[in-house]
């Protein structure tokens, strides 16, 4: 129960975490339906042209363009219709001068045809069709490589797979694709006061909140969390838990609100690897620990639900996004502060607010309260040297 | 192969779709880890207070506040330390006047104590502790209902479950929660030119793209898509497919590029239910069909990949979001147009662009090309009466 010493600044903590975060190298092959919102781990070079054949891009008549050059509304050109071709059909017939073939969008152009006159510019007359407008060669025709060119580097390693990019893969007949694995995060609740969901809540105990807020945040943001059993507040148990979870990319201890086990965690980290920092001058979230054992990042998160989750938003998330190679978009909006806020000099403060119609309402109850965050949709940052924010002033809100 | 008649406007189409979209009523019970980003389908009334007991909100000494009133740095108050209490422990001892108990954050306050002096304002001296600052009753103490009050309506039906809200559920020991079901969408690829992934691609054929772009868009946006086998281009097959899928909330036909099957679909819809519209004055996406059979919305999407997906973004998505009861945030940014765009008078145009550093680059190749959309991160809307957009002009881009 010692107080913290040598707190580092919030920005230093962020920097240290990011410097120690490596981009994911492990890949897995998944079906393209499961690849959406994942990051491509291979270059995709088109194995063939798409669509792969010359096709009509409109419904109409496949013609030799030169047959239409003199056509006008007053003097339509009359062409003989020698067949019909639908999409998906092979052109079994060809056209000769003065002839045309009725053609549907997407159907392959018959031999000798080099243009399509759209149906709106024609009128049928028995076995003939009147052409009212001239077309140039290539009009209303898609070339074989008009969408994708064979040999083209069509999707690059590191690209985020959006629905249209999944469409590009489908167009090339690719069913499975290599993506980077999601960062694996093992969460260990700690603290004697923490009770697992489903168990009886005795006096002096509280349910495990942080495992669930952390896990669902991580699920939402592209990581793969695993919640483990509660770890006893002793060195051996912590060491054993780390040993068991060292294959993960991140190990997060959270839940205990005493700083007792935080010292234990720091001790184990020092013994097994490198303690990167212990304590940040940020409110809430002072007791945050970060270390590295082998290539696994170890976090000791503050036990209080709001502290734990805000720290996860501001410190853990940028690291997860970097490792996952996912874009990290920080959305900021300007808002007017609904009421005065008193801050603590010397500590950078992350203050949850609810923004509605351009007004930022402080929703902070206390670090222990999960309900404060559940009403917030963002936070404001109050620098260490600021003591007081005034009602009505403009603040910048980072949205969750 | 008839042209379209009586096209309705883009805004009319949107209005008709939204009017015919009902909010989801079916619910399912899921584990809270799977409930994130889902919509709560029940009111949650707190069954007990959280934390449920009076606890220390800081590390320090549990005291009777009145014992500290005269304390100062110059004249500290000396109190006898009669015990230690950690979080998760029951207070077995009580304090009397002149006594205190060392207490950890989160630990229940011992009997007779009404405040906590933080450890930083004390110094230990054998069995005694020097108190340097007075505290008021309640200082550094969280009340039993400080986070959640028993009987409080803590989460409301219809709320989107964010990670902190999942935390609120966890704090109440709730493991499973009722959420609204995801809209079920059955997708039927159509068209003789369409080949299933994994099969040989003959001349004149293309792989099924739209099933994959639609399905992955729907997965991302909170619906539950099911891709079915390719449906033959005949009335009976379409009717049979609809009959098989009528338990879905949406049935989407897409893939065929001829308008032939669209007439068949319209015919089947008219026979079995209500045709809401057939053809929209929008580019791309003119051949879009919408109808309703029983309570199922039926869409006939244009076959061309870009047309299909843009129409899904602008017409289907708002409907899906409404049914799913999910917020639909339309993100718009201003950008300068990188080059001139020629549009078609009389048709509302949805034009894909890539916005980078405030510049909107047109990426449109042709409606048939999926690669145009894969490079876009948004679109601009060009009203029916506008023919020409000039390089450098400011446009409003709706981001995907």
The interface predicted TM-score (ipTM) is 0.91
User: What are the backbone angles phi and psi of residue A15, rounded to the nearest 5°?
Assistant: -60, -45
Residue (of A121, A144, A152) closest to A59 by Cα position: A121
How far apart CA B23 and CA B18 sit, in angstroms, is 10
How far apart CA B129 and CA A14 sit, in angstroms, is 37
C-beta separation of A261 from A255 below 8 A:
no
DSSP state of B162: -
Q: For residue A110, what is the nearest residue in chain B, using CA coordinates?
A: B204
C-beta separation of B225 from B254 below 8 A:
no
| First-residue to last-residue Cα distance in chain A | 33
Cβ within 8 Å, pair A216-B163: yes
Q: Going by DSSP bridges, is the β-strand pair B359-362/B348-356 parallel, antiparallel, or unpaired?
A: antiparallel
Q: For residue A91, what is the nearest residue in chain B, using CA coordinates?
A: B204
Query: Which chain B residues contact residue A93 at CB under 8 A?
Result: none
Q: For residue A144, what is the nearest residue in chain B, using CA coordinates?
A: B204
CATH: 3.40.50.720, 3.75.10.10, 3.20.20.330, 3.40.980.10. Which one for B10-26+182-324?
Answer: 3.40.980.10
Cβ within 8 Å, pair B371-A168: yes
C-beta separation of A186 from A245 below 8 A:
yes
Our CA-based measurement puts residue B55 at a distance from the nearest CA of chain A, in whole angstroms, of 8
Q: What is the 3-state secondary structure (H, E, C) of B98-116?
A: CEEEEECCCCECCECCCEE
* Inter-chain contacts counted by CB atoms under 8 A, chains A and B: 303
The CA–CA distances, whole Å, from B156 to B41, B46, B169 equal 8, 11, 12
Half-sphere exposure of B269 (CA within 13 A, CB side): 24
Cβ within 8 Å, pair B216-A163: yes
Cβ within 8 Å, pair B105-A209: no
Cβ within 8 Å, pair B87-A258: yes
CATH number of A10-25+182-324: 3.40.980.10
Cβ within 8 Å, pair A374-B164: yes
The pLDDT tens digits along chain A (400 residues) read: 344 457 899 899 999 999 999 999 999 999 999 999 999 999 999 999 999 999 998 889 999 999 999 999 999 999 999 999 988 888 788 999 999 999 988 899 999 999 999 999 999 999 999 999 999 999 999 999 988 999 999 999 999 999 999 999 999 999 999 999 999 999 999 888 899 999 999 999 999 999 999 999 999 999 999 999 999 878 899 999 999 999 999 999 986 654 445 588 999 999 999 999 988 888 887 788 999 999 999 999 988 888 899 899 999 999 999 999 999 988 899 999 999 988 877 788 888 899 999 999 988 766 668 888 888 888 999 988 888 899 999 999 998 8
- Position B186 scores a pLDDT of 98
Whose tokens are 């054993």? That residue is A240
Q: For residue B162, what is the nearest residue in chain A, using CA coordinates?
A: A374
Is 0.90 topped by the overall pTM? yes
C-beta separation of B400 from A162 below 8 A:
yes
Mutant choice from A61, A169, A206, A305 vs B, greatest count of B C-beta within 10 A? A206
DSSP H stretches of helix in chain B? 10-19, 163-171, 210-220, 235-245, 260-272, 305-311, 317-324, 370-375
Encode A98-109: b = buried (16+ Cβ within 10 Å), e = exposed: ebbbbbbbbbbb
The domain segmentation of chain B, as residue ranges, is 10-26+182-324, 29-50+147-180, 55-142, 332-399
CATH 2.40.340.10, applies to A332-399: yes
Residue B386's SS3 state is coil
C-beta separation of B338 from B240 below 8 A:
no
Question: Residue A234 region, left (φ>0) first, then alpha (ψ -120 to 50), else beta?
Answer: beta
Topology of the domain covering A27-50+154-180:
Molybdopterin biosynthesis moea protein, domain 2 (3.90.105)
Equal fold, B29-50+147-180 vs B332-399:
no
How far apart CA B282 and CA B275 sit, in angstroms, is 19
Q: Dump pLDDT digits (tens) for A68-102.
A: 999 999 999 999 999 999 888 887 889 999 999 99
How far apart CA A110 and CA B200 sit, in angstroms, is 22
Q: For residue A145, what is the nearest residue in chain B, using CA coordinates?
A: B369
What the block records as the tokens of A294 is: 């082998």
Our CA-based measurement puts residue B221 at a distance from the nearest CA of chain A, in whole angstroms, of 11
Our CA-based measurement puts residue B386 at a distance from the nearest CA of chain A, in whole angstroms, of 22
- Position A5 scores a pLDDT of 58
Cβ within 8 Å, pair B86-A192: yes
Whose tokens are 């805004």? That residue is B11
Of A147, A202, A370, the CB nearest to B370: A147
- Position A237 scores a pLDDT of 92
The CA–CA distances, whole Å, from B128 to A146, A169, B61, B74 equal 85, 73, 11, 17
The number of beta carbons lying within 10 Å of the beta carbon of residue A396 is: 12
Say how far residue A53 (Cα) sits from the centre of its chain.
35
Listed in sequence order, the residues at least 6 apart from A236 whose beta carbon sits closer than 8 Å to its beta carbon are: none
Query: Which chain B residues contact residue A1 at CB under 8 A?
Result: 59, 102, 104, 119
Q: For residue A200, what is the nearest residue in chain B, using CA coordinates?
A: B173
Low-confidence ranges of chain B (pLDDT < 70): 1-5, 255-262, 365-368
Q: For residue B87, what is the nearest residue in chain A, using CA coordinates?
A: A193
Q: For residue B215, what is the nearest residue in chain A, using CA coordinates?
A: A33
Tell me the β-bridge partners of B252: B187, B299
Q: For residue A308, what is the nearest residue in chain B, using CA coordinates?
A: B164
Of B171, B309, B368, the CB nearest to A207: B171
Query: Which chain A residues contact residue B147 at CB under 8 A?
Result: 365, 368-371
DSSP A201-229: --TT-EE--HHHHHHHHHHHTT-EEEE-P
Of B164, B366, B374, the CB nearest to A164: B374
CATH number of B29-50+147-180: 3.90.105.10
Architecture of domain B55-142 in this structure = Beta Complex (2.170)
Of B91, B197, B257, the CB nearest to A105: B257
Residue (of B69, B160, B159) closest to B115 by Cα position: B69
Whose tokens are 């005694």? That residue is B128
Q: Dump pLDDT digits (tens) for A156-191.
A: 999 999 999 999 999 999 999 999 999 999 999 988
How far apart CA A265 and CA A238 sit, in angstroms, is 7
Query: Which chain B residues contact residue A107 at CB under 8 A?
Result: 193, 204, 258
Query: Which chain A residues contact residue B370 at CB under 8 A?
Result: 50, 147, 164, 167-168, 170-171
Cβ within 8 Å, pair A164-B213: yes
Cβ within 8 Å, pair A204-B53: yes
Query: Which chain A residues contact residue B373 at CB under 8 A?
Result: 164, 167
How far apart CA A295 and CA B369 sit, in angstroms, is 44
How far apart CA A286 and CA A346 sit, in angstroms, is 12
Our CA-based measurement puts residue A389 at a distance from the nearest CA of chain B, in whole angstroms, of 23
């Amino acid at each position: 129960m010692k107080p913290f010493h040598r707190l580092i600044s919030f920005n230093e903590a962020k920097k240290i975490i990011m410097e120690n975060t490596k981009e994911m190298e492990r890949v897995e092959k998944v079906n393209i339906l499961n690849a959406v919102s994942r990051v491509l781990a291979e270059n995709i070079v088109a194995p063939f042209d798409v669509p792969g054949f010359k096709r009509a891009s409109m419904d109409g008549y496949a013609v030799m363009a030169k047959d239409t050059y003199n056509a006008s509304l007053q003097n339509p050109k009359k062409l003989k219709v020698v067949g019909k071709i639908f999409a998906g059909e092979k052109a079994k017939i060809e056209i000769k001068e003065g002839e045309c073939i009725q053609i549907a969008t997407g159907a392959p152009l018959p031999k000798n045809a080099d243009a399509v006159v759209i149906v709106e510019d024609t009128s049928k007359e028995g076995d003939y069709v009147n052409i009212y407008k001239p077309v140039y060669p290539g009009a209303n025709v898609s070339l074989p490589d008009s969408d994708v060119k064979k040999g083209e580097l069509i999707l690059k390693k590191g690209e985020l797979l959006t629905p249209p990019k999944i469409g590009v893969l489908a167009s090339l007949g690719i069913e499975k694709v290599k993506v980077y694995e999601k960062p694996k995060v093992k969460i260990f609740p700690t603290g004697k006061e923490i009770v697992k969901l489903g168990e009886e809540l005795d006096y002096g105990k509280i349910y495990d909140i942080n495992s669930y807020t952390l896990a669902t945040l991580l699920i939402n943001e592209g990581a793969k969390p695993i919640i483990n059993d509660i770890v006893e507040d002793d060195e051996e148990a912590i060491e054993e838990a780390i040993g068991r979870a060292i294959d993960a990319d991140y190990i997060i201890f959270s839940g205990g609100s005493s700083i007792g086990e935080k010292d234990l965690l720091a001790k184990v980290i020092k013994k097994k690897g490198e303690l990167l920092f212990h304590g940040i001058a940020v409110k809430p979230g002072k007791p945050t620990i970060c270390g590295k054992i082998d290539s696994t990042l170890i976090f000791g998160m503050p036990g209080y639900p709001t502290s734990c989750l805000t720290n996860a938003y501001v410190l853990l998330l940028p690291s997860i996004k970097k490792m996952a190679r996912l874009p990290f978009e920080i959305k900021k909006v300007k808002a007017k502060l609904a009421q005065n806020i008193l801050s603590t000099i010397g500590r950078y403060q992350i203050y949850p607010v609810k923004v509605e119609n351009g007004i930022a309402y402080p929703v902070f109850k206390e670090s222990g309260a999960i309900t404060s965050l559940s009403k917030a949709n963002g936070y404001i940052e109050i620098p260490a040297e600021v003591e007081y924010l005034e009602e009505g002033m403009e603040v910048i809100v980072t949205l969750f």
